[in-house]
Amino acid sequence: MELLELFLKSIFIDNMVFATFLGMCSYLAVSKKVSTAVGLGAAVIFVMLVTVPLNYLLDQYILRPGALVWLGEDYGDVDLSFLTFILFIATIATMVQLVEMIVEKFAPALYNSLGIFLPLIAVNCAILGGSLFMQQKEFNNITEATVYGVGSGIGWFLAIVAIGAIREKIRYSNVPPVFRGLGMTFILTGLMAIGFMSFGGMLTGGDEAPKKEVVENVTPAEAVEVNEVATDSTALETVTDSLTQTVQE
């Protein structure tokens, strides 16, 4: 059950886009379409699945203070944590390269549809961020770390697809010129992030605390309740319509 809770938490509550805005640059600059968002998101999930557990092992057995104990007792004092950034990014760059080669060989159709995104992913903040947050959270075993990694990837995927869908639709709305495009995207992402905060009520807290509903002091701009991230167009249209109407006021 804890794993399921961790999984859901990393998708909806610690969502890498809406809680910490990771990985948005390349996406925002590159595309306004849902299809590219889906491709990019899929690639991210895959890379997270591969890199987070690997970096977890690196952290446990090499980087942590005292991690080198398995080499011998006298190595227990060694603290290599300062090498974290460099080793993590090296792992990520290498794994992305490997994944690219494997996908090209065994699934050329997938390789073609992912196109340029796969190499771009190595420098995507979301991937490095996922590993760094994993290190900070100090998981007990590799399963938890992997669940967190995959969950974060899925959360990122959902967020990017949702933003892409709204961006596609909003081109047909009357956005004030100064906000057209980038400005509106940021405001919208902010509003969606507020919506995602409502997921905080899913959590249970404290060891002996009863499961209560959290009513945080939040008044969203309009009561847009995002119960699931709806990827079907009708739900998104409703959201878009209500949002654009507000903007026009």
Q: Are 167 and 187 in contact (CB under 8 A)?
A: no
> With binding defined as CB under 8 A, does residue 180 bind other proteins?
yes
Choose the stretch contacting other proteins; rule: CB under 8 A; options: 20-28, 68-76, 149-157, 238-246. Answer: 20-28
The only residue of 23, 39, 41, 151 in contact with other proteins, by rule CB under 8 A? 23
> Tokens in use for 247?
């903007």
Nearer to other proteins, 135 or 146 (CB): 135
Q: Which stretch binds other proteins (CB under 8 A): 45-53, 78-86, 106-114, 146-154?
A: 78-86
187 binds other proteins (CB under 8 A): yes
Give, as ranges, the residues between 28 and 67 that touch other proteins (CB under 8 A): 28-29
Number of residues interacting with other proteins: please give it, by CB under 8 A. Answer: 72
Q: What ranges in 59-141 are assigned the alpha helix state H?
A: 84-106, 108-114, 117-121, 125-137
**Burial annotation 159-196 (CB, 10 A radius, 16+ → b, else e):** bbbbbbbbbbbbeeeebeeeeeeeebbeebbebbbbbb
Task: List the one residue out of 185, 56, 44 whose CA is nearest residue 124.
Answer: 44
Site residues for other proteins, 190-229, by CB under 8 A, read 190-191, 193-194, 197, 200, 203-210, 212, 214-219
Q: Do the Cβ atoms of 110 and 103 come closer than 8 Å?
A: yes
Q: Given the complex with other proteins, which of 21 and 117 has the nearer CB atom?
A: 21
Q: What residues numbered 121-150 form the site for other proteins, per CB under 8 A?
A: 122-129, 132-133, 136-138, 140
Q: Looking at beta carbons only, is 4 or 218 nearer to other proteins?
A: 218
Which residues make Cβ contacts (< 8 Å) with residue 234, sequence separation at least 6?
none
Place of tokens 């890379």: 47
